[in-house]
């Protein structure tokens, strides 16, 4: 397990030069009854270690002479605690598993951490994460300002590690891409089942149960984010999560749901007819959204950008809105005014990875635009939304809401659609629905 993570740690130290990095795993959440709940490690910690036990701390450092050191602190073995909350690896096994120079029990953190900071003028933290350790670190550094020798120096310059890691995480390595593929492999059969089982008389919650159960049953870690099952006009609420309404024949249902695997997410949306077949107007709107998606795909290549994909997609949506009668006027003027924005009010693309919305830095440290390169994984998710209570819309559009979302991987000569196996061509969608 350790090689990919060791390479990431080395790349991080290369980026920062001399300094010390402290990364926390995070504390396991509890529900109001005091019982442990589902836990996932802080993405930055998992990205650098592949280790997922709660409360761990990673310390990396490079001296001005180029000497590096990696130290991991983990929960100690404790038979009584492990009987309640699960097995712990322990320091020695963690050192081998993660591939760090040293590993210690977390109980030794207060004793050993000051020594690991000493001699370094620069400290890299996730600055805006309010944690007990962060407060302790800053307080300790503030008290140690009177260094008499270079070896006594403690960090006095604070850097935001989140920004540095965001640029690294934008481009996925092979281990990360394999994990995202694993999430997709769990997601696809869930969509097959939910389209096949969808019928009038069920509820949105019934479909959510099919999806969320599949994400666990087929080897995932459950949903990567809150499952959205939005039928009829509910699809015009972008982050609808009530999932409690009955499914009506003749309506569409928009499902935005995907699995998580190995702590990595994919992100998928499909919209399909509850009764198995699109009406003519539903198919017309669906085709516009689909064509806009392909307009974005055409710009997915090394050297391109998510912003350019967004603009191409929105241009095609504008054409479609003109054809539907939802917009009128000069195409050029409408594009200049971004008139399609109210009908699709979000960015068409966002990176995915350890977060379903992974960090999305636009510039590097020198202020240059970060362009698409092999390893970038991101969504393309156009939609059109026509709320039922919008009296300015043509009557035949009111209450329709559609979104289609795929996940693209930039390759050396273009892109791979990781979620292409989940039906989205109208005829194929109807076939999956049994229509």
CB-based contacts of 130, cutoff 8 Å, min separation 6: none
Q: CATH number, domain at 61?
A: 3.40.350.10
Shared-domain flag, residues 110 and 178: no
Domain boundary among 169, 200, 224: 169
Shared-domain flag, residues 155 and 226: no
CB-based contacts of 386, cutoff 8 Å, min separation 6: 236, 326, 343, 393, 397, 398, 399, 400, 401
pLDDT of residue 233 exceeding 80: yes
Average pLDDT of the chain?
A: 93
| Per-residue pLDDT, 37 | 52
CB-based contacts of 342, cutoff 8 Å, min separation 6: none
Shared-domain flag, residues 144 and 190: no
Domain boundary among 101, 134, 169: 169
145-168 pLDDT, tens digit per residue, is 555 666 667 788 899 999 899 999
Q: Which domain holds residue 333?
A: 174-433
| Per-residue pLDDT, 268 | 98
CA–CA separation, 383 vs 155, rounded Å?
48
| Per-residue pLDDT, 147 | 59
Most confident range, picked from 52-56, 166-170, 268-272: 268-272
| CB contact at 8 A, 267 and 278 | no
Shared-domain flag, residues 264 and 405: yes
pLDDT of residue 310 exceeding 90: yes
345-366 pLDDT, tens digit per residue, is 999 999 999 999 999 888 777 7
Instruction: Pick the range with the lowest mean pLDDT from 115-129, 225-239, 375-389.
Output: 115-129
Instruction: Pick the range with the lowest mean pLDDT from 27-41, 223-237, 318-332.
Output: 27-41
How many domains, the chain? 2
Shared-domain flag, residues 100 and 38: yes
Shared-domain flag, residues 355 and 210: yes
120-129 pLDDT, tens digit per residue, is 999 999 988 8
Shared-domain flag, residues 337 and 413: yes
Shared-domain flag, residues 407 and 388: yes
Shared-domain flag, residues 216 and 262: yes
pTM of the model: 0.94
Shared-domain flag, residues 162 and 229: no
| H or E element, residue 296 | helix 280-297
Domain boundary among 140, 169, 198: 169
| Per-residue pLDDT, 367 | 81
Q: CATH number, domain at 423?
A: 3.90.230.10
Shared-domain flag, residues 211 and 139: no
| CB contact at 8 A, 238 and 192 | no
Shared-domain flag, residues 202 and 342: yes
189-224 pLDDT, tens digit per residue, is 999 999 999 999 999 999 999 999 999 999 999 999
């Amino acid at each position: 397990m350790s090689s990919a993570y060791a390479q990431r740690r080395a790349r991080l130290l290369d980026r920062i030069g001399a300094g010390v990095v402290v990364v926390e795993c995070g504390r396991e959440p509890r529900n109001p009854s005091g019982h442990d709940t589902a836990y996932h490690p802080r993405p930055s910690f998992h990205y650098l270690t592949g280790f997922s036990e709660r409360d761990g701390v990673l310390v990396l450092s490079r001296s001005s002479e180029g000497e590096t050191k990696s130290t991991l602190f983990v929960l100690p073995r404790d038979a009584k605690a492990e009987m309640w909350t699960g097995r712990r690896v322990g320091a020695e096994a963690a050192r081998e598993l993660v591939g760090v120079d040293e590993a210690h029990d977390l109980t030794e953190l207060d004793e050993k951490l000051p020594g690991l900071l000493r001699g370094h003028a620069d400290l890299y933290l996730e600055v805006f994460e309010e944690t007990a350790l962060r407060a302790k670190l800053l307080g300790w550094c503030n008290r140690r300002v009177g260094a008499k020798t270079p070896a006594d120096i403690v960090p006095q310059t604070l850097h935001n590690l989140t920004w540095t890691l965001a640029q690294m995480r934008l481009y996925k390595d092979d281990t990360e891409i394999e994990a995202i593929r694993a999430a997709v492999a769990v997601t696809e059969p869930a969509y097959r089942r939910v389209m096949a089982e969808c019928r009038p008389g069920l509820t949105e919650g019934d479909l959510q149960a099919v999806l969320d159960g599949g994400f666990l049953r087929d080897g995932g870690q459950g949903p990567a984010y809150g499952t959205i099952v939005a039928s009829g006009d509910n699809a015009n609420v972008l982050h609808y999560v009530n999932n409690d309404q009955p499914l009506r024949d003749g309506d569409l249902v928009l499902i935005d749901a995907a699995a998580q695997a190995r702590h990595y997410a994919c992100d998928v949306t499909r919209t399909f007819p509850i009764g198995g077949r699109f009406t003519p107007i539903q198919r017309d709107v669906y085709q516009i959204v689909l064509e806009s998606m392909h307009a974005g795909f055409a710009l997915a290549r090394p050297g391109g950008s998510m912003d350019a994909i967004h603009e191409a997609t929105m241009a095609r949506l504008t054409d479609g809105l003109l054809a539907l009668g939802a917009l009128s006027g000069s195409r050029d003027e409408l594009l200049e005014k971004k008139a399609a924005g109210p009908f699709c009010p979000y960015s068409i693309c966002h990176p995915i990875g350890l977060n379903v919305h992974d960090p999305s830095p636009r510039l590097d440290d020198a202020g240059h635009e970060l362009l698409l390169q092999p390893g970038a994984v991101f969504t393309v998710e156009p939609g059109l939304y026509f709320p039922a209570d919008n009296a300015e819309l043509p009557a035949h559009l009111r209450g329709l809401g559609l979104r289609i979302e795929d996940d693209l991987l930039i390759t050396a000569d273009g892109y791979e659609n990781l979620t292409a196996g989940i039906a989205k061509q109208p005829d194929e969608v109807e076939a999956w629905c049994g229509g």
